[in-house]
Chains A and B, each alone.
Chain A
Amino acid sequence: MKHQRKGSVEKQPYILIVDDDPDILEGILTILETQPYRLATARDGKKCMELVQEELPDLLILDLLMPRMDGWGVIREMRNDPRFARVPIMILTTVIEDASRRRYELETGMAMEVQDYIQKPARPADLIQRVSKLLSLDASKHAER
């Protein structure tokens, strides 16, 4: 689902938010809609990968426990595909960080490469600040090239 604001949206960073819980999505959208971003949402990992192929997001906000394809699966696909490997990923989940890192390592034999990890619930001010930090890191990386 695309949530576009009117006006000059071309240059606005594009954020894809993936969570199977519609209430979490609405809460996160309500917070991030106050910022100059273009937002899209997906309810599972498969849909997420479809949207990523349509347009590369500047940031992926990702839940872990989801139907069809879970968040670990999404990370694995993103990191194994050179087209998507550089997209910053912020995990937003109820799963504690060490447990989910361990699970990823056990399943893939590799370290879980994500740029930020928030255990739900996210405090709005914190979320906004961390999103903007990830986006600016990304922008500076692009500027270097």
Chain B
Amino acid sequence: MRKDNRMAPPLNNQVSARLLIAERLGQAEIFSDLLQEDLIAIAEFCREETYQEGETILVEDRPAETLFVIARGKAALEKKIQIGRHSTPRNAAIGYVGPGKITGFSVLTTPYIYSTSAVCLEPTRVIAIDGPSLRAYLQAHPSAGLKVMENIASLIADRYRNATHTLTYFLSIVSHELRAPLAAIENYLQTMHAGYAGELTPKQERMLQRSILRVTDLSALISDVVDLARLRPEQIQADFEWFDPGEVGTESIEDVRLAAAEKGIKIRVEPPPKFEPIVGARRRMRQVFTNLLNNAIKFSPAGSQVIFRACYEPDALIFEVEDEGPGIAEEDLPHIFTDFYRASSAGEIPGAGLGLSIAKKIMDAHDGQILVENLAGEAGVSGTRFAVVIPRTLQTPEMRRRPEAVVGDGY
């Protein structure tokens, strides 16, 4: 019988290669507390692989047959997102794995389908573990199996905690996909409504005006839902800058002009004698004012008046929005700033119950306050007053970095 020398490397090489793999496996988070003998046994059905930057290690939705331990390099875990039939599918990175981390834990959990893709961000070396063999080994060695499954559970719990982050990312993509077609519709409606596509009958004009209002509502609703995930205080504070609050107030009035006109509601503006610049997140502040004004308009009877007032106190700027609506029931008052809460009086009035909770989050990030009270029902007069208190002591990121550069009063 002829001896085949090509069959395998010498035995001691094979053994040392297996020991090396076992050692690397021991450094992986999910195998860290296994016994040496388990690691050596598992190393038997492992192989080393290398991938170049941009190469895919595993693909979402494919059968999970291999578990990968990253030995060197870095990979992004990605999920495919497609909203609607017409939008381009995109990959969103929902996490990253480096040395000692694993990807492809779905080989150990039914239905054995990869839940993400993994794409290399740099040249990466991995240890590929055959999934069915690993499952069989862990079944036959329950104490090792239990340790591995415990580690997998804690790893999944970690990834789950990161879900907010992931959600934010998803939502920013969703937001664009939803807004793009709406923008096209809004653009056509505005163009037709303004008469650029030919003359309109009064009925057509009215329908177009209603369509514009409804689409504007829808687009505000999308922004609101998307904002919920994005409104973290540090994100808002990063946008702090000097701005003219009078200008922002004017923009908010413009935002709600059409909705007010539709119900014949007059907005009475009571500005201070002079607006002084303050520090805050300009765009977010406009959102607070617009939300409060919209809210007031929604709950006001047709033909009534909404007052938009501003005044300075030594250490704060206060904006108030006052309506002549039915007021808010006592039992609703503690909850109106909660996400998705709709007051009992909201009834048929459209909305997702997000406007006020968003305003509250924005004010919290400004160390400010948002207050609400029902106006005393004297002589049949009712209504609600919202007050927004913005501290005048806020600092831009620049000022926080270089506190000595702040110019004091009187210079």
Q: Does A51 belong to the interface (CB within 8 Å)?
A: no
- A123 and B283 within 8 A (CB): no
B196 at the interface (CB under 8 A from A): yes
A31-B196, A96-B283, A124-B196 known; A21+B184 contact, CB < 8 A: yes
Residues on the A chain within 8 Å of B196, using CB? 30-31, 34, 124
Inter-subunit contact A121/B190 (CB<8 Å):
yes
Q: Is A28 interfacial (CB 8 A cutoff)? A: yes
With A and B bound together, what is the CA distance between A96 and B179 in angstroms? 12
Return chain A residues, CB-CB under 8 Å to B299: none
Across-interface contacts of B184 in A (CB, < 8 A): 21, 23-24, 27
- A94 CB–B CB distance under 8 Å: yes
- A21 & B180 in contact (Cβ 8 Å cutoff): yes
- Give A90-124 as 1s and 0s: 1 = Cβ < 8 Å from B's Cβ atoms: 00001111100000000000000000000011111
Give the contacts of B185-240 with A (CB-CB under 8 A).
185-188, 190-191, 194, 196-197, 239
B176 within 8 Å of A by Cβ?
A: yes
The reply to whether the CB of B183 lies closer than 8 angstroms to some CB of chain A is yes
Q: Give the B interface residue count (CB, 8 A).
A: 17
With A21-B180, A23-B184, A94-B183 in contact, is A124–B239 under 8 Å at CB? Answer: no
Q: Which chain B positions have C-beta within 8 A of A65?
A: 176, 180
- Are A94's CB and B179's CB within 8 A? yes
Check A31 against B191 for contact (C-beta < 8 Å): yes
Whether A27 touches B187, Cβ cut-off 8 Å, given contacts A98-B239, A98-B283, is yes
In the bound complex, residues from chain B placing their C-beta under 8 Å from that of A67 are: 88
With a cutoff of 8 Å between Cβ atoms, the chain A residues found around residue B180 in the complex are 21, 65, 94
Chain A residues near B183 (CB, 8 Å)? 21, 24, 94, 120-121
A34–B194 Cα gap in the complex (Å)?
12
Contacts A27-B184, A31-B196, A98-B239; is A124 near B176 (CB within 8 Å)?
no
In the complex, are the beta carbons of B194 and A23 less than 8 A apart? no
Q: Mark interface residues in A17-31 (1 if CB within 8 Å of B CB, else 0).
A: 000010110111011
A143 at the interface (CB under 8 A from B): no
Which residues of chain A in 19-73 are interfacial with respect to chain B, using CB atoms and an 8 Å cutoff? 21, 23-24, 26-28, 30-31, 34, 65, 67
Tell me the smallest distance from the CB of A93 to a CB of chain B, in Å: 9
Chain B residues contacting A125 (CB-CB under 8 Å) are 194
Q: Mark B166-186, 1 if CB is under 8 A from A, else 0.
A: 000000000010011001111
Interface residues of A in 110-145 (CB under 8 A from B): 120-125
Across-interface contacts of B185 in A (CB, < 8 A): 23
Most B CB within 10 A of own CB, among A23, A27, A97:
A27
- By Cβ-Cβ distance, the 7 closest A-B pairs, closest first, are A121-B186, A120-B183, A23-B184, A27-B187, A124-B194, A121-B187, A94-B179
With A95-B176, A98-B283 known, 19 other A-B pairs at CB within 8 A are A21-B180, A23-B185, A24-B184, A24-B187, A26-B188, A27-B187, A30-B196, A31-B191, A65-B180, A67-B88, A94-B176, A94-B180, A94-B183, A96-B283, A120-B179, A121-B186, A124-B194, A124-B196, A125-B194
22 contacts between A and B (CB under 8 A): A21-B183, A23-B185, A24-B184, A27-B187, A27-B188, A28-B187, A31-B191, A31-B194, A31-B196, A65-B180, A94-B179, A95-B176, A96-B283, A97-B283, A98-B283, A120-B186, A120-B187, A121-B190, A122-B187, A122-B190, A124-B191, A125-B194
